[in-house]
Amino acid sequence: MNQDIRRKLDRLTDILWGGGVTNPVTYIEQISYLIYLKLLDEEESNRELQTRMMGNTGNGKLLFPLQADRYRWSKWRFKSGRDLRDFVRDEVFPYMASLVKEEPQIAEYFRDAVLEIVDPNVLKQVIDEIDSIEFRKLGTDVKGDIFEYLLTHLGQSALNGQFRTPRQIRMMMVEMIDPDLGDTVDDPASGTGGFLIDFVEYVLAKYSTEPQEIPIYGEEWLEKRGQTLEEARLEIPNLQTYRKGPGEKLPDWNLFERSIYGNDVSRQMMRIAMMNLVLHGIRNARIKRANTLSEMGGLSEDDLHRKYKVILSNPPFAGVLPKDSIRKDLPTNSKKSELLFLAVMMESLAPGGRCAVVVPEGLLFGSTQAHKDLRKKLVEDFELLAVVSLPAGVFKPYAGVKTGVLVFRRPLSEIGNRQSKIENSKVWFYEVRNDGYDPDKITGGGRPETPEQNDIPDLLKQWKIYKNSAFQEPPGIETGTLMTAGSEETRCWWAHRDLIRDNEYNLAAGRYKPQVAEKPPEEDPAELIKETLSIEKEITEGLERLLKEIET
């Protein structure tokens, strides 16, 4: 994304902020509406061109047939004042929401949409700024970058306790799961769609001839340093990166688009996630506004019974649902949202499917029966591959809650050999002390970068070793091992499932961390004993003198 586009986006947010639209979620939603209308107009122009080239004068497939032509961006964007505002608010939005049969996805996007830019002059400025961006001339990677840049205004905070998961954690989780074409993916608490976008980019990179490697801090980070990636790597060997590519070798784009699912309880978040995917080239993802946890949350019977090969999520931790609203098919009686979301993912995972989910650390060691029962099911009925301990500062400055990542998969078979395989397996633990950002400091609303201290590249290196052993030989040392004095604390270790059972299925990484023996004293033990006896003798003599003085 070039500097000119970045300046336009900055002007957009400045205009909206100055016009009273100060909530980042709201102004990103408002910009999304207008970008979508611009994209649809450009797409319509392309349809018309194709129609003329084919010698067909009909308009049956047009989104804006002749009687609706006036709703196109190019027809009304020249309006101004109240005429512009009222037309967009009272005619364009309702028309888009009416396309239930023709374009159900667009209709769903604009259902209940409200234009909250009430100042006509502010609206005009925003429309002129967006109109100056010719999206049809931009690749999907640039259009995707545009929206990701807008989302940085959310920081890590989104809405109602939701948090936008930092890219370095998302990319770590996606790489551990290693999705591919043919995998259906779901995020039951999709928020802005970050995990779904990372899934898309990871798979597209696999099917690209020359994927581009990018630091987790973005291409601008390299520009500011005045370095190429190779130069930065020489200076920072463990620099964390991810790959992007056009996916030109992807054999079935329709299959790929249809494999992407996501739900969010907030209509704002649903719209933002959908626009995020649209600008990344994904027009037909199945994104719904729904409460994944509830019987009455808006999920269809198909939604409730669908199984997924990949689940990636960071669900909200806070919240308690009324018992009567909770889905009856979940393997827990808890009303706590963090347990319910984990139960949903366990229930929704297809045989052989893999899940990576961020959980509050309290879920790993909570002592209630609901906590224990759900962890027991996870350990006994699933293949729990890894517990990754994250630093407490991952979500700062918005939250300091200590979190971890669970990585597990559902066995291919529910009976027979599956049980003996689980009985013999081990659980791997990895402690991430630094995720590429300072865990304690906050500057400019975020944490300063510390790329040279990032533990995640080592985690991924060890994970590959673990994966190559068919997840039978986890790297590191066994829990209970007493490491020799002076050894550096280990980053990874493993425990037999029998030990986890004995510990009431406690999954806190620290519970099983091997200890380092204390260094023996450097002084001669005989000298220490003599010194101690000398001190004791002086104390005894002093007390004897004090006793004589008292008696006399």
Q: How confident is the model at residue 317 (pLDDT cuts 50, 70, 90)?
A: confident
Helix residue ranges, H only, 392-496: 417-423, 456-468
Q: How confident is the model at residue 78 (pLDDT cuts 50, 70, 90)?
A: very high
Q: How confident is the model at residue 122 (pLDDT cuts 50, 70, 90)?
A: very high
Asked if 339 contacts 383 with a C-beta cutoff of 8 angstroms, the reply is no
In the chain, domain spans: 3-138, 317-516
Query: Which residue, chain included where needed, has tokens 């490697």?
Result: 213
Q: How confident is the model at residue 161 (pLDDT cuts 50, 70, 90)?
A: very low
Task: Give me 484's structure tokens.
Answer: 């020799």
Structure pTM? 0.85
Task: Tell which residue, 485, 369, 477, 374, has the closest CA to residue 430.
Answer: 477
Rounded alpha-carbon distances, angstroms, from residue 220 to 145, 215, 238: 11, 9, 19
CA 459 to chain centre: 18
DSSP states along 222-254: HHHHT--HHHHHHH-TT--EEEE---TT-S-HH
Percent of the chain with pLDDT over 70: 90
Q: How confident is the model at residue 92 (pLDDT cuts 50, 70, 90)?
A: very high
pLDDT, average across residues 69-92: 94
Please check the confidence at residue 466 and state whether its pLDDT lies above 80. yes
Higher pLDDT, 231 or 524: 231
**Average pLDDT over the chain, rounded to an integer:** 87
pLDDT, average across residues 140-165: 68
pLDDT, average across residues 112-141: 90
Q: What are phi and psi of 324, to 5 degrees?
A: -70, -20
Q: Which residues pair with 516 in a beta bridge?
A: 483
Please check the confidence at residue 333 and state whether its pLDDT lies above 70. yes
- Please count the CA atoms within 13 angstroms of the CA of 407 that sit on its side-chain side: 24
CA distance 247 to 89: 38
Asked if 204 contacts 245 with a C-beta cutoff of 8 angstroms, the reply is yes
CA distance 511 to 367: 14
Assigned superfamily of 3-138: N6 adenine-specific DNA methyltransferase, N-terminal domain (1.20.1260.30)
Higher pLDDT, 143 or 75: 75
Secondary structure string (H, E, C) spanning 170-181? HHHHHHHHCCCC
Assigned superfamily of 317-516: Vaccinia Virus protein VP39 (3.40.50.150)
Q: How confident is the model at residue 128 (pLDDT cuts 50, 70, 90)?
A: very high
Q: How confident is the model at residue 160 (pLDDT cuts 50, 70, 90)?
A: very low
Per-residue pLDDT reduced to its tens digit, 11-56: 988 999 888 888 888 888 999 999 999 998 888 877 666 555 555 5
Higher pLDDT, 157 or 93: 93
Asked if 363 contacts 343 with a C-beta cutoff of 8 angstroms, the reply is no
Task: Give me 16's structure tokens.
Answer: 């909206």
Helical (H) or strand (E) element with 313: strand 308-313
Instruction: Give the burial class of 209: count Cβ atoms within 10 A of its Cβ; 0-12 exposed, 13-18 middle, 19 or more buried.
Output: exposed
Tell me if 3-138 shares its fold with 317-516: no
Please check the confidence at residue 532 and state whether its pLDDT lies above 60. yes
Residues in the chain: 552
Task: Give me 497's structure tokens.
Answer: 């499932």
**Beta strands per DSSP E along 122-196:** 185-187
Per-residue pLDDT reduced to its tens digit, 364-416: 999 999 999 999 999 999 999 999 999 987 877 666 688 999 999 999 876 54
